Structure 1
């Protein structure tokens, strides 16, 4: 995930942990991470312990194994652990096995992230995004009891207006508008452009769910969080709006396929959409480079 400027007023370990929370939304900004942490505390305090445990497990694993300090401080080894801690705290009942499971998941996610970083050093390589979280999440969810089906929700104008905020909160499994509002404030502090793209992605996902008469998906934000993440990943660092718009459309189209297969989408539609757009853009760029010399030879004198 991208790295942005970070504060130097916190101890190194605190900065790393807060950056881990902000990296869930592809930012490197401790204050943004603090607001994400506050969103969990205020709207789902029972999930906070799992999130912190996953973050610490990922960070300590990276420290003990000597991974690059810059990557540790950026939060790159913590955000997958945070998401796993949130997911397991939500999906599994409390037991003495839950904390060790979260610790193991957070540590393993850090090791998977490091292997990915080692094998994809160039800026044109595909980023890892939340791939370790998705892979480990699917594995661990196979041992969880099935979640109850979503009940139909009455669609009202106030709920519809707040639904885009729910889409941002659902990135961290939070379905409260307050959580999404705190995330938006954090994104505005970190990068106003990122906040705009995130809201746009969530709105597009909401519109798609409404068009398909899925009120539960629409109002809970479950249809908006993957498009919001795609918009963040592809929109905040490019001046080509067609790239994030294409990614948003792909995420919206891919998400129902996972539900049809009986698999929890998690953030897989976000990852696949971003990878497809990046890979296509890279191939297109390479094709232009391959054909440009021929065009030059046909229209201009050959230079020595």
Structure 2
């Protein structure tokens, strides 16, 4: 994107980092830098994919004339980054993955405008749903490789901690306990409360699904915890009970998709968050953001103030 005359030289980089931070629902460049570090320690190919997707999505948003404030705060770039990460995760050939990544990221950005208006009219945020829609559109036409690399082996005395951290890493398609630890640190830069909710959500979801399926390999790779972590982050402003309910719904949905062989990705998180927020609204309970915030953070997750177009969303 061409920089306006009044913009600082590092604004473009800050926009990309905020896009990465939005993957874990934090509008914070420091969080995004930690997510980037997580990709680098897991697989540098993922970092390349994320940059490609975020840039393509931001350019697409600019061409569609979307709000520049939203772009600068990462709301257009993060779905593009996720769409590109999905392409590089499921397609082994780099050239083909790059082509799909650019097209999918641009499509996600172009879809976002009308899709967000539709969801906003129903009182919902879009989260990672644009990425899901475009990924589901091309995924049936490829023979996907293994979606996630196995987690690296860690000392046995750490117990379940590596699997828990791997679940945090999987929120951004990374796959290792070290990557998960970096992401937790990044979330903590934005909000200590959010970091606690992410860890608790991953732990609850992983434990519940392990008790149901007793799949140690999936637990160690983090495949059982990432939807729970994201759901807990998304509904943290509604309180502990709402977060527990949301994680429970995400666990049930993820188990259902496993049973039917559906490539769920982050769909359990999105649907569980929509469901929880709808219940909270129907019971006339309010969600107020009690998270600790840095001066660079955004307003409550999943909400946009009606009175001001400049109000910031912190949603996935």
Task: Determine if the TM-score, normalized by the shorter chain, exceeds 0.5.
Answer: yes
Q: What TM-score results when the alignment is normalised by the length of structure 2?
A: 0.81
Closer/same/farther in 2, CA of residues 185 and 148 from structure 1, 3 Å limit:
closer
Distance in 1 separating the partners of 2:159 and 2:177: 9
Q: Distance between the aligned counterparts of 2:189 and 2:13, measured in 1?
A: 19
1:192 corresponding residue in structure 2? 192
Look up the match of 1:293: none
Structure-2 separation of matches of 1:252 and 1:45: 30
Where does structure 2 lack aligned partners over 5 or more consecutive residues?
1-6, 286-316
Aligned pairs for 1:51-130 within 5 A = 51-121=50-120, 125-130=123-128
Structure 2 distance, partners of 1:49, 1:198, is 25
Residue 199 of structure 1, CA deviation:
0.2
Shift of the alpha carbon at 1:146?
4.3
Report the alpha carbon displacement of residue 97 of structure 1 after superposing the two structures with TM: 3.3
Q: Gapped runs of 5+ residues in structure 1?
A: 1-7, 287-304
Residue in structure 2 matched with residue 229 of structure 1 by the alignment: 230
3-state DSSP of counterpart to 2:235: helix
> CA deviation digits over 1:221-256, x for unaligned, max 9?
110000000000001x23x31111100111111101
Cα gap change, 1:258 to 1:128, in 2 (>3 Å):
same
Look up the match of 2:13: 14
Residues 125-166 of structure 1, C-alpha deviation per residue, up to 9 Å, x if partnerless?
100010011111122221221445999999955352211110
Partners in 1 of 2:149 and 2:95 — Cα distance?
Answer: 31
CA shift, 1:121, in A, is 4.8
Decide whether aligned partners of structure 1 residues 226 and 10 sit closer, same or farther in structure 2, where only a CA change above 3 A counts.
farther
Q: Do the aligned residues in 1 keep the contact of 2:91 with 2:144 (CA within 8 Å)?
A: no
Q: Contact 1:50–1:99 (CA<8 Å) still a contact in 2?
A: yes
Instruction: Identify the residue that residue 254 of structure 1 maps to in structure 2.
Output: 253
How many angstroms apart in 2 are the aligned matches of 1:148 and 1:18? 28
Residue 9 of structure 1 and its aligned partner are, at CA, apart by: 6.7
Instruction: Give the deviation of 1:65 after TM superposition.
Output: 1.8
Question: What TM-score, normalized to structure 1?
Answer: 0.84
Distance 2:58 2:150 in 1: 40
Structure 1 CA distance for aligned equivalents of residues 242 and 33 of structure 2: 30
**In structure 2, C-alpha distance between the alignment counterparts of 1:191 and 1:20, rounded to whole Å:** 17
Q: Report the CA distance between 1:202 and its aligned residue.
A: 0.6
C-alpha separation between the residues in 1 aligned to 2:224 and 2:38?
20
User: Mean alpha-carbon deviation: is it higher for 72-81 or for 133-142?
Assistant: 133-142
* 1:136 alignment counterpart: 134
Q: Which residue of 1 aligns with 2:204?
A: 204
Alpha-carbon distance in 2 for matches of 1:44, 1:151: 10
State the partner residue of 1:40: 39
Distance 1:252 1:259 in 2: 11
Query: Are the equivalent residues in 1 in contact too, given 2:19–2:74 (CA < 8 A)?
Result: yes
Further displaced range: 68-77 or 113-122: 113-122
Secondary structure of residue in 2 paired with 1:28: coil
Maintained 8 Å contact 1:151/1:216: no
Which structure has more relative contact order (CA 8 Å, sep 6+)? It is 2
1:220-299 alignment runs, 5 A limit: 220-235=221-236, 237-238=237-238, 240-285=239-284
Shift of 1:14: 1.4
